[in-house]
Amino acid sequence: MNKKNNPWRLHILLGTIVTGLWGLWSDFSNWQWIAGLGASILASFAGALVFRLHYLMPKRVRV
């Protein structure tokens, strides 16, 4: 996986795995794991955005 071109894939993958394990632990008996999955995906996109803006955007160079 090329994190430089697609940093969001790793964030979404890890967030989905953690949320899926939480859903299995709660035995899918309530709707809260769905809300957790949505929150994880949104947090993944936010994390990827911060990662891209902080590390991948070219820095301004003063001349």
Please give the pLDDT value at position 44: 76
- pLDDT tens-digit map of 24-35: 666 655 677 777
Q: 45 lies in a domain?
A: yes
- pTM confidence score: 0.45
pLDDT for residue 47: 77
Identify whether 1 is part of a domain.
no
Q: Is residue 60 part of a domain?
A: no
Q: Could you read off the pLDDT of 3-61 as tens digits, one per residue?
A: 555 666 777 777 777 777 776 666 655 677 777 777 777 877 787 777 777 776 666 65
Under the banding of pLDDT at 50, 70 and 90, the label for residue 63 is low
Determine the Cα–Cα distance for residues 57 and 20; give it in Å rounded to an integer: 32
Q: Which domain holds residue 42?
A: 7-55
Number of structural domains found in the chain: 1
